[in-house]
Chains A and B, each alone.
Chain A
Amino acid sequence: MTVAEDQRLDAMFSALSDPTRRAIVVRLAAGDATVNELAEPFNLSLPGISKHLKVLERSGLISRGRKAQFRPCHLELQALDVAAGWIEENRRLWSERFDKLDQHLRNLHEPPNGDRHE
């Protein structure tokens, strides 16, 4: 994983650490929505919801229409794929770590190549 990808994941995880923002992501998974449509169910003021949307937008998880009058919010599915890929990376990390630990434990038991000099 590159440093840039890592930073992007940090931003995504940080964005998703808030329950309101997670709920917004769930809502957007069902389809695009305007700021007003998002503010209503969460009982948030427009500045309040805008703050959350800015965090989500910076993380790359959502994008917002440039032309449309109400700038609808759109969930970036490929950004979620990056996060799903992280799960696979994490699995690989522990597998490889454990492979090395296994080898390390064997080396402790008997020196590599059968050498036995003290």
Chain B
Amino acid sequence: MNENTLRFTRIFEAPRQLVFSCMVEPEHLTHFWGPAGVTTPLDTITVDARVGGAFTTVMVNDRDGSTYPTSARYVEVTPPERLSWIEDHSGMTVTITFTELGTRRTQVDIEQTNVPEPMLDPAAQAGFLTSLDRFEAYLAQHAGAHR
């Protein structure tokens, strides 16, 4: 583990196979891929879920219509356990691990590696660590919400 790895965890009250499907089926992705205030139209999503296959989306800002295209290549597709892709523009690898916590409960861990390394300067590194601290606080809060 190094400072250039970003990790996120969330527990969902749903079976593992369903949560995995949500991450590889456009009909599901269109419901949640864009963050708050951003929509990802179904016809902009391409998923070729096999090693070397493309994963592309276009996120559209609800307010001003500005678009954010994303494109990546899958490097691992192991249903329903693991999914990994490399983003074309940043070279960042995103790996998602799905862990069964029960028949209707799934832990999702996101690990982003090869995060571009502008964090080498001490001031920027401090900013990075602050972000991680905030994220941990956020996780603690949500872990509580999910019991």
Contacts and interface: CB of A to CB of B under 8 A. Distances in A.
B40 to A, nearest CB: 10
Nearest to B38: A96
Size bin of chain B's contact surface:
35 or more
Contacts of A14: 89
Nearest to A107: B31
Contacts of A85: 127
Contacts of A99: 36
A72 B66 CA distance: 39
B66 to A, nearest CB: 6
B125 to A, nearest CB: 8
Contact of B32 (A2, A100, A109): A100
Contacts of B12: 101-102, 105
Interface string A80-118: 110111011011111111111111111111000000000
Interface in B104-130: 108, 110, 112, 115-124, 127-128
A13 interface: yes
A8 B12 CA distance: 35
Q: Choose among A2, A12, A14, A98 the residue with the greatest number of B CB atoms under 10 Å from its CB.
A: A98
Contact of B120 (A26, A87, A93): A26
Given A77-B123, A81-B124, A102-B12, A17 B91 contact: yes
Q: Choose among A13, A77, A85, A87 the residue with the greatest number of B CB atoms under 10 Å from its CB.
A: A87
B32 to A, nearest CB: 4
Interface in A12-26: 12-14, 16-17, 22, 25-26
